[in-house]
Amino acid sequence: MSAAVRGRWWRLAIVGLLAGFFSGLFGVGGGVIIVPLLLMLANFEQRRASGTSLTAILPTAIAGAIGYAVQGEVDWIAAGCLAGGAIVGSLIGSWLLHKVPQGVLRWLFIAFLVAMAIRMFLLVPDRGAVLELGVGTVVALIGLGLVTGILSGLLGVGGGVVVVPMLMVLFGMGDLVAKGTSLLMMIPTSITGTLANVRRGNSDVRAAAVIGLLAVPASLGGVAVAAAVPPQLGAVLFAALLVFTAVQLAVRAVRQRRRGRD
């Protein structure tokens, strides 16, 4: 095995460990970590990074969901409603991924990170809050799932960065239950989006397998830490992570644009 190949696998391993830990800690699939790291460390182009990320999210989401479920921190009915909308949305998003220009996709992802960071900075989680289900709530959850699925297929994120804060802000759900429910919702979304991306050649399955398998044990560690971190501190840390990632990607995008002009 050449040094270049070994270097690539080591970088993918780092991506998997980081994505897994933050997935468990914040209740996200890890795509918000995987996509920028694939761009910055593994030299993936935006479309392939998004497709590969969605594939790698599957084992991470399964492990994280199990970890929260064991602690009783999953709302199964809400997760089912979200998943129903997200499955349809992920197919739409995967189709859009093949159509949207690379430059537009890159800046759309950066804007998405900034918007979610602002939301998390302003969020004051209530760990003991419980979701009250009704007809209106079910319809709203399906709608949220649809939007989340589109973003999932288009940007390669599992949707947790949207679902977790929205469940807390709009639906009054406790932060740990929101995280567990979000991870459970991502499982069918990741499967449908991955199948669509693989058919279109937008996913590196071998790279995704390396990332996903290494993310599993790391995600369980993140779940354990999540219960010990105060809700407000967790929200602020997550927001800071999103801002840092957005800045790094924006700098990279500007540099690439300048090189293209030279």
* Residue 16, amino acid: G
Residue 262 has pLDDT above 60, yes or no: no
- Quick check: 79 and 181 in contact, CB under 8 A? yes
Most confident of 76-85, 129-138, 237-246: 76-85
Mean pLDDT computed over 97-124: 76
- State the Cα–Cα distance between residues 116 and 114, nearest whole angstrom: 5
The full DSSP string for 186-206 is HHHHHHHHHHHHHHTT---HH
Close Cβ partners of 211 (under 8 Å, ≥ 6 residues apart): 12, 13, 15, 16, 19, 34, 52, 56
Indicate if the pLDDT at residue 80 is higher than 90.
Answer: yes
Q: What is the pLDDT of residue 230?
A: 80
131 CB-side CA count, 13 A = 29
Each domain of the chain, given as residue ranges in start order, spans 3-261
Average pLDDT estimate for 44-50: 81
Q: Is the pLDDT of residue 258 over 50?
A: yes
pLDDT digits (tens, 9 = 90+) for 177-233: 888 898 898 888 788 878 887 887 878 888 999 998 888 888 888 888 877 878 778
What is the signed CA dihedral for 82, 39, 68, 143, rounded to 10 degrees? -10
Of the candidate ranges 40-44, 168-172, 211-215, 249-253, the one whose mean pLDDT is the lowest: 249-253
Residue with more model confidence, 100 or 3: 100
Question: CB within 8 A of 14, min separation 6: which ones?
Answer: 37, 41
pLDDT recorded at residue 1? 47
More confident residue, 156 or 71: 71
The pair of structure tokens assigned to 200 is: 């279109």
62 — pLDDT class (breaks 50, 70, 90): confident
Residue 41 burial (10 A CB sphere; 0-12, 13-18, 19+): middle
Over residues 148-185, the pLDDT tens digits come to 888 777 766 667 777 887 888 788 888 788 888 988 98
pLDDT at 243 over 80: yes
User: What pLDDT shows up at residue 57?
Assistant: 84
Whether the model pTM is above 0.75: no
pLDDT for residue 81 is more than 90: yes
Q: Beta-strand (E) ranges in the chain?
A: none
- What's the pLDDT band for 124 if we cut at 50, 70, 90? low
**Rounded distance, CA 213 to CA 64, Å?**
12
pLDDT of res. 229: 79
